[in-house]
Amino acid sequence: MIDARDLTKRYGATLAVDRLSFSVRPGAVTGFLGPNGSGKSTTMRMIMGLDAPDGGQARIGGRPYQQARWPLREAGALLEARAFHPGRTGRGHLRALAAANAVPGSRVEEVLGMVGLESAADRRAGTYSLGMAQRLGIAAALIGDPGVLLFDEPVNGLDPEGVRWIRQLMRRLAAEGRTVFMSSHLISEMAQTADRLIVIGAGHLLADTTVAELSARAGGNLEDAFFALTADSAQYRAATAEGGF
């Protein structure tokens, strides 16, 4: 369970997140949608206690992430494509994280298996392809077997097989009763993967609903419904000929 209450974040003159409140429930994949610069990554960093909110609070399982007893067993996050030292092996990276939260070494091998990285585990992570890097990031998120998972654009740059793998993994994690919160720009992917959606624009909540309900607003087309919803808040959308709204 993730709870955001009046989350607010300012970067200089930019109001990146503006009194944002929502809940992400367990047992479902909740998609996090919004145009570029709408505050998705910032929100996820605040949930993970990496950026301090200027107002409001985020809670994981009822308390701020920083107060977790064993943080990695509470929540795991994939926030950037390459959040590891290029000179360290994949296994070394995971072993370091495991040690920090007294996670047994056998779990390192387990998650390496889950993401299919066993054969590359002893290579320097700097040599990994984008897809392999993404898998290492997912393995790191899963290391503590947490009940809450955040993924910021997990399918970015993945080949079709990787995209399908992520989709199946998200569904499986949710089916196991975990809270899965993922952002993506690929709306068709969201339509296939997510049950629920949280849509933001310019740091504001625009919708907190189900995929089915939002698509129904535009006759079953999620993409059209998304554009209609975010029409006023997209800051970086190119002027298009066939705008339509």
Ligand X SMILES: Nc1ncnc2c1ncn2[C@@H]1O[C@H](COP(=O)(O)OP(=O)(O)OP(=O)(O)O)[C@@H](O)[C@H]1O
- Kindly list the distances between the CA atom of residue 101 and the CA atoms of 68, 94, 106, in Å, as whole numbers in the listed order: 11, 11, 14
In the list 2, 22, 30, 40, the residue contacting ligand X (rule: CB under 6 A) is 40
Q: Does 37 bind ligand X (CB under 6 A)?
A: yes
Q: Does 48 bind another protein (CB under 8 A)?
A: yes
Asked if 105 and 95 count as a contact pair (C-beta separation under 8 A), the reply is yes
Tell me how far apart the alpha carbons of residues 245 and 226 are, in angstroms, rounded to a whole number.
Answer: 12
Residue 175 contact among Mg ion, another protein, ligand X, none, beta carbon within 5 to 8 Å by kind: none
Nearer to Mg ion, 16 or 94 (CB): 16
**Which DSSP string corresponds to 41-55?**
HHHHHHHTTSS--SE
Nearer to another protein, 32 or 226 (CB): 32
CB neighbour list of residue 188: distance below 8 Å, 6 or more residues apart: 222, 223
Nearer to Mg ion, 33 or 222 (CB): 33
- Looking only at the bridges linking them, the beta strands covering 148-152 and 179-183 are parallel
Site size with Mg ion, rule: CB under 5 A? 1
> Interface residues for another protein in 120-149 (CB under 8 A)?
140
3-state secondary structure of 56: strand
The nearest distance, CB 229 to another protein, in angstroms, is 29
Residue with tokens 């996050």: 77
- Kindly list the distances between the CA atom of residue 114 and the CA atoms of 108, 125, 168, 239, in Å, as whole numbers in the listed order: 10, 17, 12, 43
Render the burial of 24-62: b for 16+ CB within 10 Å, e for the rest.
bebebbbbbbbbebbbbbbbbbbbbbebebeebebbbbe
Neighbour tally for 5: CB within 10 Å: 15
> Interface residues for ligand X in 41-100 (CB under 6 A)?
41-42
Q: Does 39 bind ligand X (CB under 6 A)?
A: yes
Q: Does 162 bind ligand X (CB under 6 A)?
A: no
Asked if 94 and 139 count as a contact pair (C-beta separation under 8 A), the reply is yes
Q: Does 92 bind another protein (CB under 8 A)?
A: yes
In the list 14, 27, 36, 83, the residue contacting another protein (rule: CB under 8 A) is 83
> Interface residues for another protein in 139-198 (CB under 8 A)?
140
The nearest distance, CB 239 to another protein, in angstroms, is 33
Q: Does 233 bind Mg ion (CB under 5 A)?
A: no
Q: Does 179 bind ligand X (CB under 6 A)?
A: no
Instruction: Give me the residues that bind ligand X (CB under 6 A), please.
Output: 11, 14, 16, 34, 36-42
Instruction: Give me the residues that bind another protein (CB under 8 A), please.
Output: 45, 48-52, 59, 61-63, 65-72, 75-77, 79-80, 82-89, 92-93, 95-97, 99-102, 140
